[in-house]
Structure 1
Amino acid sequence: MPFLFKNKKFLPINFYIKDFVNKRENTIKNLLIKLTIITGFLFGIAACDDSPNREIRAGKYGMMSEESPQYAAIVFLLTIYENENLDETISMTSQSFGRTIKAYHTNKSVQRHLLNLRLDKVEIEPMSGGFSPRNEFTKKSTVDLKITGYFNNEKIIDLRTIEMVKKGGDWQIIGVRNTVP
């Protein structure tokens, strides 16, 4: 059996082969463990994506253009009822109306005081009578919305009118009022 010199001792060659194989196996195990941890971490981050992917089912055949004032009005009210904070809501308003909303500090306060309509679950759809297909090309628009929701397990249906202006290609909300006085 051939011998090799290691640390002033003669060791058989199969010792070196076993040592090499053991180191190689440990390296592969460590690599697999690291790969598993990284993959789990990436799946966790992907699952925690906080970007809202709202699918608004309204308009003809359940589709609505994102450039339409109806879409902007629905998203505005959904941000008040579904988001944790008012940041996205304020970004959709004019400066003066944004300051008014910001003064209420929380979504529940905006629901309670500005809209006078507290809801736990909400569905919002545009009223078909006020729809004009040319609305997306105008500078000002008012949209009537039907809000259906529940508060304390009691069904509530209400109508609101959202007033908007178009600035820089985006619709900005300038006011909310009751549709029926």
Structure 2
Amino acid sequence: MEDVKEMTADVKKNIEEKKPLKKVLVICARGTLEDVYAALIMANGALSEGKEAKMFFTFFGLDAITKAKADHLHTATVGNPAFMRSLPTMVGGLPGFEALASHMMKQEMDKLDIPPVTEFLEMIEAGGGEIYACKLAADMFHIKKEDLVDEVKDIITVGQMYDLAEGDGVQIIYV
């Protein structure tokens, strides 16, 4: 019981002291255009603020770091209430609608000079960020290191991913 009280006191002390954020670990588990870009923007933003940034791609998020799929991601139209707020839900399931929505999203991103996924990954690595793939997901989808973009530092286990998050001032962001 004393241990719990001490831990609670330590947590309260950390909150009160507002320890500065030193690094982020961004976990990307979904492979949709909007989810992958959210993860890339979070990591890049941390780097631009002088923070350490590491990225861990797992399950369908692996699509973002495979050579074959990285620059061919799509916007989720079915089951995405924010996207479908002005259209009937069934429109999202029509043949070709996802491709159209993805094309339109990419056009808007081009207007804002947002780089393609592979270029964004290059920028993150060049800025000192580290990019990792999940071993379990890679094994499950039969993905090898040579299938991944060159910026991927390694394929690691979840335990190794937790090791990346050790230390003070760490924020884990799950996208």
TM range (shorter): under 0.3
Considering only CA atoms, is the larger Rg found in Structure 1 or Structure 2? Answer: 1
Q: Choose between structure 1 and 2: higher helix proportion.
A: 2
* Relative contact order higher in (CA < 8 Å, ≥ 6 apart): 2
